[in-house]
Structure 1
């Protein structure tokens, strides 16, 4: 059996085949990297969307709290504040275990409060004696743009 001599055309054809094989492998690797990049971008978009959804929800919520503030040597106030991003409406203050330190007339005069704007507060006069308990459970109730009848139990201490 006789082997045919290798011609220049055969060499060019072999080089063209090797070059096309290299191009197919390179394109396949590039497509895999591109697919992974697109998947990563989609995951990032989902995270950003979730974060924006949470922020949009928080923008509609009021966040109320309460604490006692000492003024001078023997004077106290109960401070109720809104640190949320939305206005609290129809704010109510309830004392499930009884009210023994905040002046009832002050509570009746100020609550239910029609509006409590973000970053604003209201103060109530507190009467503190030697036999006054140190922890006073209370319930804050309010409505805001995210819904009605929100409740939060707080435990301000003297």
Structure 2
């Protein structure tokens, strides 16, 4: 029996090919969309982490200290807050001893009740020939993130 192909068979074959092509395109589109959704989810998670870390850093104070030379013989220890939050109950400790700062000036200014962002305090320093050039200072404070923060600062003259 001879096989005859008429116009309906050709149209049905083309429809089958078009349907297979459309199915393949849909699957490839779905894969691309799935990878796009995964990328978007990763970006959202990174953004949430960034926002959380910014919220934490917004509650932290960051204190530092360094010696500042004024003129030829005058030195001062400058303590500053470069963090985003207010530091409270600021205390200075000297693990290796204090032989450079004037004790009366230190007692008068510390413990300091609070220090706002970008605020600083200066202490008079008595520098002489026998003064060592490197000093260790432990700065202890409280802020909105923690009730006990401390930082060791190595300052040089």
Superposition TM-score, scaled by structure 2 size: 0.98
Trace 1:2-151 onto structure 2 (pairs within 5 A): 2-151=1-150
**For structure 1, which segment, 46-55 or 73-82, has the greater mean C-alpha deviation from structure 2 after superposition?**
46-55
Q: Distance in 2 between matches of 1:154 and 1:88?
A: 17
Instruction: Indicate the SS of the match to 2:12.
Output: helix
The alpha carbon displacement at 1:90 in A equals 0.4
The alpha carbon displacement at 1:129 in A equals 0.1
Aligned length, in residue pairs: 157
Q: Distance in 2 between matches of 1:53 and 1:6?
A: 69
Q: Distance in 1 between matches of 2:118 and 2:72?
A: 27
The alpha carbon displacement at 1:75 in A equals 0.2
Q: Distance in 1 between matches of 2:60 and 2:5?
A: 82
The alpha carbon displacement at 1:51 in A equals 1.2
Superposition TM-score, scaled by structure 1 size: 0.98
Displaced runs of 4 or more, over 4 A: none
Per-residue displacement from partner, 1:3-39 (whole Å, max 9, x unpaired)? Answer: 2210111111101100000000000000000000000
Q: Distance in 2 between matches of 1:128 and 1:101?
A: 6
| Gaps in structure 2 of 5+ consecutive residues | none
| Gaps in structure 1 of 5+ consecutive residues | none
